[in-house]
Amino acid sequence: MKACFAALALALPASTLASPLFNLHYVPGTSLQAQQGFQAAAARWSRVLKDNVTVELTVGFNSLGGNILGQTGSSEAFYRYSDFRSALAADATSSIDQRALAHLPAGDSFGMLINRTANNPNGPGSAVPYVDNNGDANNQYLSLSNAEAKAIGLTPPPQSLDGCIGNCDGFIQFNSDFNFDFDPGNGIGANSIDFIGVAMHEIGHALGFLSGVDILDLNSPPLGGPYDDSEFTYVSGLDLFRYSADSAAAGVIDWTADNRDKYFSLDGGATRGPLFANGAYHGDGDQASHWRDNMGLGIMDPTVAYGELLRLRWNDLMALDAIGWDIDPAAIPAPSSASLLCLALMLLALQQKR
């Protein structure tokens, strides 16, 4: 069995570099063991990130009943693309940042390959992709997580989420009815789920590992819509590095809901990086806010198996670096020979391992 992930800590810096402070607020009834697990997950992120920001999270470990592993979400707000690009440039500290910026469109808007919209020239709701670069709302605005916005020097509005204690940047609650392993030091028990690893995954979503393609996927026929492309103002920072062979040829990002390969790229799609998931309904069965499953690409893979030890990998850090987080060079894990390049609105449920 594998568990589907869905989007999300008290952490002390591990070096003299500034690090984010994850300010944790606990849902009543959360055990001390679970609190320590969330703290350990946050501490791991603080060891590799060096942005001097505070991330407010509400976390919990309570009986939720049923077959739901947990529930989670991240606070987001809309920003002009031009403001995001300017903030990213002002915050640039690495070669990854410079490469990413060099290939982001100048000006006030960006183009995309999109499908399943009401104004698709191939017919309302058509699955056939088309290039949308007319400069309307969805070409001018991004939806960023609060934590990512803070990392690049933007000021997100105070927000809360259902379940949060006060204002928060993210919410995560695990179902205590499941068997979790809280000590990865001696491996993960065969019938247990890696608590710290899953918590790291959820924190990763709050940090900005998100895709608005999930919004398109769930608001397209036959599930909903169709809607005009201008209404889909949910392109994330990470989506600006989401490409396919078709979109790269057109010089735009790929924001389609279908099962063609989509990959992370820092150079406008010229270099093919790790594959993304394609969408729960119109894609490969996994939410687009993840790496492709069963390839061992990183902590942001969409599923976890019982007994599996989850690991933060090169791909995870390169993606976060590109969207504005500063990475401690000494903390970056060595890339594997297989890959040198490099649950917001989501519920966790169990699915059969493919």
Give the mean pLDDT of 334-349.
34
**What phi and psi values does residue 315 have, to the nearest 5 degrees?**
-60, -40
Asked whether the CA dihedral 148, 152, 156, 159 is positive or negative, the reply is positive
pLDDT digits (tens, 9 = 90+) for 38-54: 999 999 999 999 999 99
Asked whether the CA dihedral 196, 200, 206, 211 is positive or negative, the reply is negative
Higher pLDDT, 137 or 347: 137
Question: What local confidence, expressed as pLDDT, does residue 17 receive?
Answer: 55
Q: Using CA atoms, how far apart are residues 294 and 353, in angstroms rounded to an integer?
A: 9
**pTM of the predicted protein model:** 0.90
Portion of the chain with pLDDT greater than 90, in percent: 85
Is a pLDDT exceeding 60 seen at residue 347?
no
Side by side, which strands form the sheet with 130-132? Answer: 130-132, 112-114, 253-254
Where are the chain's structural domains? 2-351
Q: How far is CA 124 from CA 221, 225, 229, 259, 343, in A?
A: 9, 9, 11, 19, 30
pLDDT band at 72 (very low <50, low <70, confident <90, very high): confident
pLDDT digits (tens, 9 = 90+) for 147-161: 999 999 999 999 999
Is a pLDDT exceeding 90 seen at residue 70?
no
pLDDT band at 68 (very low <50, low <70, confident <90, very high): confident
Tell me the sheet residues that pair with 180.
193
Q: How far is CA 179 from CA 9, 32, 167, 176, 285, in A?
A: 21, 16, 30, 7, 25
Let me know: does 321 contact 327? Beta carbons within 8 Å: yes
The per-residue pLDDT of the chain, averaged, comes to 90
Question: What local confidence, expressed as pLDDT, does residue 353 receive?
Answer: 32
Is a pLDDT exceeding 60 seen at residue 252?
yes
pLDDT band at 5 (very low <50, low <70, confident <90, very high): very low
Higher pLDDT, 338 or 98: 98
pLDDT band at 332 (very low <50, low <70, confident <90, very high): low
Let me know: does 349 contact 66? Beta carbons within 8 Å: no
